[in-house]
């Protein structure tokens, strides 16, 4: 029985890591693999260079702890086609099969390798087009005079600073003025800087 490793990643907290893990455990059972290790990254974007779960998985791959890696989809494991192919190439050199559930691809044969290259390239192109559409939309919005980003904070800044300097706790001031504690800290710091400059 082949030993398998599962790698799962979610980039936001409203996603469910357990869904990926459940589906991949089921796939492993169907293929007759024994799942020995599960590696997870929570709340980490695929664009991040350092991912503790992925790094640990690759380190254990180099130690020969498993012979198959299962992932839910290509985009769970890499931030670009180049990065994706580097990971798959390293696994291949170590004699480790790579299986992606969504794309129904594994690297045990030449067709799997061909599809991985094609699908990875298409996924990267799609991401690039999305980014370009977002940038074009922002440029158009600026040309039309629309405001981008958060609306300015509509609060009595001087009252917040005054209450904080009077000895009230961060929580009390935040609750009274219906703002976050971070906002109270920021406004107090800005007021302090202005006083320092004026002095």
| CATH number of residue 41's parent domain | 3.40.50.1390
Which is catalytic among the residues 11, 67, 80, 92? Answer: 11
Would 181 be classed as within a structural domain?
A: yes
Take residue 50 and report the two structure tokens written for it.
């350092």
Would 62 be classed as within a structural domain?
A: yes
Would 142 be classed as within a structural domain?
A: no
Take residue 11 and report the two structure tokens written for it.
């980039």
- CA gap 123, 148 in Å, rounded: 28
pLDDT for residue 149:
65
Considering the domain architecture, whether residues 121 and 165 belong to the same structural domain is answered as no
- The total number of structural domains that make up the chain: 2
- Domain with 188 in it: 157-198
pLDDT for residue 69:
95
Would 185 be classed as within a structural domain?
A: yes
Would 119 be classed as within a structural domain?
A: yes
pLDDT for residue 198:
67
Report helix angle 170-177 to 181-198, nearest 10.
100
Contact predicate 37/66, CB 8 Å: yes
Bridging pattern class, strands 3-10 and 34-42: parallel
Considering the domain architecture, whether residues 108 and 173 belong to the same structural domain is answered as no
Would 135 be classed as within a structural domain?
A: no
67 annotated active-site: no
pLDDT for residue 24:
95
pLDDT for residue 50:
75
Considering the domain architecture, whether residues 99 and 162 belong to the same structural domain is answered as no
pLDDT for residue 63:
95
pLDDT for residue 137:
86
pLDDT for residue 151:
55
pLDDT for residue 178:
85
- Extract the residue ranges of the chain whose pLDDT is less than 50: none
What pTM was estimated for this model as a whole?
Answer: 0.56
Would 143 be classed as within a structural domain?
A: no
């Amino acid at each position: 029985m082949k030993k398998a490793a599962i790698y799962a990643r979610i980039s936001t907290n409203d996603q469910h890591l357990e869904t990926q893990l459940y589906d991949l455990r089921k796939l492993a059972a169907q293929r007759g693999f024994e799942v020995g290790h599960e590696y997870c990254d929570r709340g980490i974007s695929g664009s991040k260079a350092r991912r503790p779960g992925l790094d640990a998985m690759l380190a254990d791959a180099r130690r020969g702890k498993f012979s198959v890696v299962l992932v839910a989809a290509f985009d769970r494991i890499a931030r670009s086609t180049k990065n994706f192919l580097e990971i798959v190439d390293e696994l291949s050199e170590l004699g480790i099969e790579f299986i992606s559930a969504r794309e129904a691809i594994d690297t045990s044969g030449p067709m799997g390798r061909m599809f991985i290259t094609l699908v990875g390239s298409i996924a990267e192109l799609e991401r690039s087009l999305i980014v370009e559409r977002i940038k074009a939309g922002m440029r158009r919005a600026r040309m039309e005079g629309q405001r981008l980003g958060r609306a300015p904070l509509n609060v009595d800044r001087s009252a917040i600073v005054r209450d904080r300097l009077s000895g009230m706790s961060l929580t009390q001031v935040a609750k009274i003025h219906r703002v976050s504690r971070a906002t109270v800290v920021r406004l107090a710091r800005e007021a302090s800087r202005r006083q320092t400059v004026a002095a």
